[in-house]
């Protein structure tokens, strides 16, 4: 009899299964554990997490590390995802400055034009003549602002609108003898050019602006030619859906334009080489990738956006594995169409435009060398023989077969943090597996990007947990429409906000997007990555590429515990007549621990006693 520990190092978690092995058919599992992976999967930093997971699994058994006969590691392939923009990386508008950040308290409503003028200069402005858009700094109180505007109006000055730094739009407008549209909360008030033509639009409550979100209306207001109209398209796009906006024509040459091309992806197979421009979109990229089989390497055009992304991925992996950059290869990609907020330089309140983008998950192949290094390092630390046991997908299917109610032919899908793995075991016990880039980390990246959160932890929570809207201190409306009431008042800071219902409590979402929009972004991201990659992987391992010839599909890994993914994948496979569900490894572990369990079972088959 020997003690065996199977260790599955994933992108997000490290799992352990400890067992006694008496013979090929006599394996008794004793315990299991799971901890967060330390460092990027497949690197030396993983050793700390593995030791922690081993200790947690051995503690209830009263077994010391040195009593283990062998520790088995999975073959872990690092996967890194990044975003490559389809459009320009830096949107800079020539001869225009704009504001349109949808402040909560604009004043008045309507569309107005005039020339910008500082509040302090209004005293010397002549009566009659030009119409004025008054620029108000945050150093002046709202009552003094309203008084000065009323005095100028009484003197005969034509004041049509105002741009205010503080959130005083309503307070000022309520005190004016002649109400005007006012846009407030303009952070960079000092950047507003003076003496230049400007247009201000404020919509009524519950509506959005119409004129300044249309490039042709902007062209009409400022008498632009066709080339200038093309330049203001990003302005109009950025202002769509806002309640208030300002567009100012700046002096020629104040702001310049710079563009960086998206570039091309180069797909290299055994006998063919295919190039596909990133700006053709994800569908075109994946369609071309499907024609190159086997896909040996993916490269990118140098000096472009996607080229920079690939070089960064290679450099990171080279640094982590002590390998030369030339030895690091991108072996597979997943491309997904998405949107990314583009900061508009020349804007005055941190505005952005949503630009089309292609999200790319790149799977980096570093062969077995890093795992062998990791095994040697772990062996030195714990004083126990460490062996790289087998390919993840092969091991996962051995573990999944311990799920009650399954039999061969069985396919498993393991959607992890960085990659999607699939394996098929035939009735003759032959195993076919595949390994594809793109999984949970890619979904988090898409959510973070499309919602403009700049907070990966929040994006991860949005991916993992349902949402709700706190409508009062005593009730919230869940994303499915149900209402939950509370005996004790909720945290007042949550009132009127969208929250993520995590295991540790409600976490507010720092976004102005509506609940329905956030839910839609989350579900679309999961379908684009999880469902698409699942079908892609199953087609690769299914007999003759026909998923209908697969009888059972079991979901393993953390994604199997997700509150949405199993149903999404089940719905996608419904037309194929496949029995689909979460695995229940060893009848006790649910979808977790499949790879660690499979490592132990595979080793037992070779055990000679």
SS (H, E, C) 324-392: CHHHCEEEEEEEEEEEEEEEEECECCCCEEEEEEEEEEEEEECCCHHHHHHHHHHHHHHCCCEEEEEEH
Q: Categorize the per-residue pLDDT at 10 as very low, low, confident or very high, splitting at 50, 70 and 90.
A: confident
**CA–CA separation, 137 vs 58, rounded Å?**
66
333-357 confidence digits (pLDDT tens): 888 888 776 555 445 555 555 666 7
518-574 confidence digits (pLDDT tens): 999 999 999 999 999 999 999 999 998 999 999 899 999 888 889 999 999 999 999
**Could you tell me which of 251, 107, 259, 248 has the C-alpha nearest to residue 183?**
107
Q: Give the contacts of 355 (CB within 8 A, at least 6 positions apart).
A: 85, 86, 87, 88, 91, 339, 340, 341, 342
Q: Are 81 and 361 in contact (CB under 8 A)?
A: yes
Q: Categorize the per-residue pLDDT at 475 as very low, low, confident or very high, splitting at 50, 70 and 90.
A: very high
Residue 102 has pLDDT above 90, yes or no: no
Assign 601 to helix, strand or coil.
helix
Q: Are 444 and 460 in contact (CB under 8 A)?
A: yes
Between residues 417 and 367, the one the model is more confident about: 417
Q: Give the contacts of 600 (CB within 8 A, at least 6 positions apart).
A: 4, 5, 6, 17, 19, 21, 27, 29, 72
Which DSSP string corresponds to 425-465?
A: E-TT--EEEEEEE-SHHHHHHHHHHHTT---HHHHHHHHHS
Average pLDDT, the chain: 86
CA dihedral sign, ordered 52, 9, 36, 557: negative
The one-character DSSP state at 547 is G
pLDDT at 350: 52
138-150 confidence digits (pLDDT tens): 999 999 999 999 9
Question: Average of pLDDT values for 37-63?
Answer: 92
pLDDT at 254: 44
pLDDT at 224: 87
Between residues 368 and 506, the one the model is more confident about: 506
Residue 471 has pLDDT above 90, yes or no: yes
Q: Categorize the per-residue pLDDT at 609 as very low, low, confident or very high, splitting at 50, 70 and 90.
A: low
Question: Other C-beta atoms within 10 Å of 480: how many?
Answer: 9
pLDDT at 252: 56
pLDDT at 76: 63
The one-character DSSP state at 107 is B
Maximum distance among all alpha carbons in the chain?
104
Q: How many percent of the chain have pLDDT more than 70?
A: 89
pLDDT at 236: 81
Assign 186 to helix, strand or coil.
coil
Task: Tokens for 225, please give them.
Answer: 């030619």
**Which domains are present in the chain?**
1-77+368-404+586-609 (3.30.420.40), 82-89+259-365 (3.90.470.30), 93-248 (3.50.30.70), 405-583 (3.30.420.40)
């Amino acid at each position: 009899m020997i003690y065996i520990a199977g260790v599955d190092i994933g992108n997000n978690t490290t799992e352990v299964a400890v067992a006694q092995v008496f013979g090929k058919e006599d394996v008794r599992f004793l315990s299991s554990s799971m901890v967060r992976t330390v460092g990027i999967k497949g690197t030396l930093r993983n050793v700390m997490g593995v030791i922690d997971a081993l200790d947690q699994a051995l503690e209830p058994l009263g077994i010391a590390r040195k009593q283990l006969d062998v520790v088995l590691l999975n073959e872990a392939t690092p996967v890194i995802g990044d975003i490559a923009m389809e459009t320009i990386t830096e949107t800079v508008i020539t001869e225009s400055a704009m504001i349109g950040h949808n402040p909560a308290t604009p004043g008045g409503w309507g569309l107005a034009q005039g020339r910008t003028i500082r509040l302090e200069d209004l005293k010397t402005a002549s009566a009659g003549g030009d119409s004025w858009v008054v620029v108000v700094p945050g150093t002046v109180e709202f009552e003094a602002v309203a008084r000065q505007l009323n005095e100028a109006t009484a003197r005969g000055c034509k004041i049509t609108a105002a741009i205010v730094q503080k959130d005083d739009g309503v307070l000022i407008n309520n005190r004016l003898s002649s109400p005007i549209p006012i846009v407030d909360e303009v952070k960079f008030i000092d950047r507003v050019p003076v003496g230049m033509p400007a247009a201000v639009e404020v919509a009524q409550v519950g509506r959005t602006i119409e004129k300044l979100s249309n490039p042709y209306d902007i062209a009409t207001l400022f008498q632009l030619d066709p080339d200038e109209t093309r330049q203001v398209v990003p302005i109009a796009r950025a202002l769509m859906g806002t309640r208030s906006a300002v567009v100012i024509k700046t002096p020629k040459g104040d702001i310049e334009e710079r563009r960086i091309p998206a570039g091309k992806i180069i797909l290299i197979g055994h006998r063919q080489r295919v190039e596909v421009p990133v700006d053709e979109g994800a569908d075109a990229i994946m369609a071309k990738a499907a024609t190159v089989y086997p896909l040996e390497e993916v490269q990118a055009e140098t000096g472009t956006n996607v080229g920079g992304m690939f070089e960064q991925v290679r450099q990171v992996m080279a640094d982590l594995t002590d390998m030369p950059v030339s030895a690091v290869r991108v072996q597979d990609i997943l491309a997904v169409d998405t949107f990314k907020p583009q900061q508009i330089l020349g804007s005055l309140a941190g505005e952005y435009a949503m630009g089309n983008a292609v999200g790319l998950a790149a799977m980096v192949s570093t062969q077995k060398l890093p795992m062998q290094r990791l095994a040697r390092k772990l062996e030195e630390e714990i004083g126990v023989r460490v062996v790289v046991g087998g390919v993840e997908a092969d091991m996962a299917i051995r573990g999944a077969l311990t799920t009650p109610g399954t039999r061969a032919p069985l396919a498993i899908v393991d959607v992890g943090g960085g990659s999607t793995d699939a394996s098929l075991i035939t009735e003759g016990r032959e195993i076919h597996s595949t390994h594809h880039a793109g999984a949970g980390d890619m979904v988090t990246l898409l959510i973070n990007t499309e919602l403009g959160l700049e907070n990966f932890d929040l994006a991860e929570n949005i991916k993992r947990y349902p949402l709700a809207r706190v409508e009062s201190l005593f009730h919230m409306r869940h994303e499915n429409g149900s209402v939950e009431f509370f005996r004790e008042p909720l945290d007042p800071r949550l009132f009127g906000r969208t929250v993520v219902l995590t295991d540790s409590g409600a976490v507010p979402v720092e976004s102005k997007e509506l609940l329905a929009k956030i839910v839609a972004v989350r579900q679309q991201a999961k379908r684009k990555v999880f469902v698409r990659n699942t079908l892609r992987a199953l087609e690769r391992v299914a007999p003759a590429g026909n998923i209908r010839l697969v009888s059972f599909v079991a979901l393993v890994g953390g994604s199997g515990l997700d509150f949405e993914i199993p149903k999404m994948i089940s719905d996608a496979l419904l037309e194929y007549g496949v029995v689909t569900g979460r695995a229940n490894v060893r009848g006790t572990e649910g979808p977790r621990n499949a790879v660690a369990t499979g490592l132990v079972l595979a080793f037992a088959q070779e055990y000679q006693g």
